């Protein structure tokens, strides 16, 4: 699961990781802001500056394991216009969806930089990192986005189950990594999503 990257790989990985994480968290904050919550703006999270979003542990995991996270954007659903539960669902979805869109853009771009040393490798990592970041964050374990998405889909009287898991979420994630279950769960999902994205990108490039 963990492998020590070379210096060249780190040089290629860091820009892709910083961009993927920044857009992921910015998307959460932007959707919350558009729904009426000023909290992300007040906390300085409506920016693409990576320094505002990085979580040291989550970033290191992305470098070594290609799965990780950024510093969560704090939102207050009480400020949302309209349905609060649906609003949280949209905010939670915004991060993974942004990474899937970035992966698709990267897969399309890869067709044009393939064969160009360094650039094709950077774009390839960019696609993989965004796919893995999207899939990892869809795990329904707090504090990952998947738990908030699931809470947004469940009937209101069942949402308490998710909230009760919050204190155990980090422990569950640690166990998933230590037991290597994270690979068993995520690798097939990431491979499937990557295949779909590559197929769509090939269709788009072929169409034009």
Just list the catalytic residues: 25
How far CA 9 is from CA of 5, 60, 80, in Å, comes to 6, 13, 42
Q: Cis (ω within 30 of 0) for the bond into 143?
A: yes
Residues found in the chain: 208
Q: What is the DSSP string of 89-103?
A: HHHHHHHHHHHHHHH
Report yes or no: 36 and 75 within 8 Å, Cβ to Cβ. Answer: no
Q: How many CA atoms lie within 13 A of 28 on its CB side?
A: 30
């Amino acid at each position: 699961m963990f492998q020590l990257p070379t210096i060249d790989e780190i040089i290629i990985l860091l820009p892709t990781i910083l961009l993927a994480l920044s857009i992921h968290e910015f998307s959460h904050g932007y959707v919350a802001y558009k729904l009426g919550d000023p909290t992300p703006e007040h906390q300085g999270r409506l920016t693409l500056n990576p320094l505002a979003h990085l979580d040291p542990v989550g970033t290191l995991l992305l470098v070594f394991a290609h799965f990780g996270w950024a510093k969560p954007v704090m939102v207050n659903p009480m400020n949302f216009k309209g349905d609060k539960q649906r609003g949280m669902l949209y905010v939670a979805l915004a991060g993974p969806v942004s990474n899937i869109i970035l992966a698709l853009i990267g897969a399309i771009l890869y067709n044009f930089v393939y064969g160009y040393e360094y650039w094709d490798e950077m774009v390839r990592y960019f696609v993989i990192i965004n796919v893995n970041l999207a899939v990892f964050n869809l795990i329904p374990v707090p504090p990952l986005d998947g738990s908030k998405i699931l809470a947004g889909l469940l009937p209101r009287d069942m949402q308490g189950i998710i909230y009760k898991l919050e204190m155990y979420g980090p422990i569950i994630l640690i166990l998933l990594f230590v037991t290597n279950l994270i690979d068993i769960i995520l690798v097939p999902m990431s491979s499937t999503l990557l295949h779909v994205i590559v197929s769509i990108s090939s269709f788009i490039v072929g169409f034009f």
